[in-house]
Structure formats: structure tokens, C-alpha cells
Amino acid sequence: MINITLEESILKLIISYLIIENMSIPYIISTFRGGISDESDKGVIGSYKFSYGLNIHSRDDIATAKQAMVTVFDVNRTTQTGIIQHFVPATDGTTYCFGSTGSVFARSGDGAWNFVYNDENGAIKGAYEWGLNDGTTYLMWATNTKIARKLLQGVDITPDSGTARWTDVEDNWITTLDPADYHTMRQACGSLMIANGNFLAKVDYDGTFNNAALNLRPGHLIKAIEERDDYVILGSYRKDNSEEGHIWSWITTATNWIQKKRIPVKGVNALINTEMLLLQGGADGELFF
């Protein structure tokens, strides 16, 4: 049995009166996983109201502020107008960002952005980090018909003068890519795989380049690449207006693709290999297992 003194009872009544009088009703939220409620006066457990710019998925289960916007400048020290289409989180601790106008940016671990190179061959259509058997590691990126590469931990960049800062880029390392809208790059089955129209190009561990390691049927253009077990998985779209895409599987020792599956949307945009293979496709971004 709990005994409450008269003084304690009066104190509780006063506190209750002050809370009600000032309309300051306290709430204790132990989780923020419910996000912002879309209703006026209630929501699911863990939801809350009147907030913006918060990161509700912190590993510490606390609400923290999200990162603020930052202005990114291009080669002419004017605001970047292109779209950054490819991100490469490199082993040197920097994330390299490749744009639709040929600009390359480096984002350091503390969030600082720097323009580092301008590829005069135009839009960058794929990028990846790839190490060779001689111990060298390169950043590689593809424009319409060429592959450029930059040695990681190579020549130091100079202070930003408004011109290209990297001086050791081989911007015409490979010049035999087929023109294509997508040159997606992905490591799979021991090689760097590169979408090359209806062909799959690859760079081997020793640096050997093959422009057409695999040939899909004409009219099917590769857009997405993923690795699953010992297979290279490809997602494609068609040049015509047909409402269909396909996924293909290939083992690098085979002379042709092994399996093909039709997807009822206009092309495969992305593949993600988790416990199950996920596919995003079509103009509306539909998801498939």
C-alpha cells in the first residue's frame, strides 16, 4: 500500500492545474519510426506533428537534423546546371559525383564539395571504381563512345582555379564503345561489366577490355547490371515503343545468355540484389520481385 501525504496530494493538484491551464500537455515519444502524422490530432504509434527537416531514422533512435542544402559549382565557378547521375563511394574515403554535362565533383567525408574535372566528351553515362592485378586502382567513367580513367591516389589536385584540376586523367583510354544512352558500370563475376547498347562490355582484372563480351538480341539495350551468386543479371529496355523490358542471366564462361524473362513495363531501370532480387522499371517506377 502506498501512502500519499496531504502535501504531496496538493502538489499534484497544483501541477495538474498548471498543465491544464497553460495547455502544456507533455508527451513522451520513445520512437520516431512513425514519421509525421497525416491526420490532424492523432497518428500511428511513434508519429508526431509540427516538424520538418528531421532525420527520424537515426541509429541512436533520436531525432536529428538532416543535412542542409549546399550550392555546387561547375567548371566556370557558376552554379551547376547539370544533373549528377552517378555516385561512386571510393575506397579513399571520398564520394565522386559524375554529371550530365561532363563535370566531376569530389565530396569529402565532412561534406565539402569540390569541382575536380570536366570531361569535354560530354555527358557521363556510367562510373565505377576498379582495381587491377598490378595493385593500381582507378576511377573509371564512360561518355558516349569513350571510357576515361583516373588513378586513385594519383597526382594531387591543385587549388581550384576554375579549370580542370586533375592532371592525370586518361580521358580517351578506351574509344570503342558503341553510342548508347546508358553505359552503366558494375563489378560482377570478377570483371567490371559495362552496358554497351545491346552488348555487354567488360574490363578484366588485368585491364583487358572486351567491347562485346555478350550480345543480346538486337533491339534490346542494357540499362541495369547486378551480380547474383555466379551470375551476371542484366535489365534491358527496347528501342521501340513496346511496353516491355527483360531481365537476362549470364555466366561468363557461357557463349550466350542463359535465361531471359519478360517484364510487363517499358524497360528495367534498376536491379537490387537482397534476400530476393528487386526490380524497378517503367516510367512510373513500378517495383517487382
Q: Which tens digits make up the pLDDT trace of 222-247?
A: 999 999 989 999 999 998 888 899 99
For 125, residues 6+ apart whose C-beta sits below 8 A from its C-beta are: 85, 142, 143, 144, 180, 181, 182, 183, 184
Is the pLDDT assigned to residue 159 strictly greater than 50? no
Instruction: Report the percentage of the chain scoring pLDDT > 70.
Output: 74
Entry pTM: 0.75
Higher pLDDT, 251 or 82: 251
- Give 1: exposed, middle or buried? Use CB within 10 Å, 0-12, 13-18, 19+: exposed
For 261, residues 6+ apart whose C-beta sits below 8 A from its C-beta are: 246, 247, 248
Q: Which of 5-9, 21-25, 147-151 is predicted most confidently? A: 147-151
* pLDDT band with cut points at 50, 70 and 90 for residue 217: confident
Query: What is the per-residue pLDDT across 45-87, written as a single tens digit (0 to 9) for each?
Result: 777 666 667 776 666 666 677 666 667 666 566 666 678 999 9
pLDDT for position 89: 93
Q: What are phi and psi of 16, to 5 degrees?
A: -60, -40
Mean pLDDT of all residues in 271-275: 86
Mean pLDDT (the chain, rounded): 82
Mean pLDDT of all residues in 133-143: 95
- Give 281: exposed, middle or buried? Use CB within 10 Å, 0-12, 13-18, 19+: buried
pLDDT for position 114: 82
* Minimum mean pLDDT range among 11-20, 60-69, 149-158, 268-277: 11-20
* pLDDT band with cut points at 50, 70 and 90 for residue 98: very high
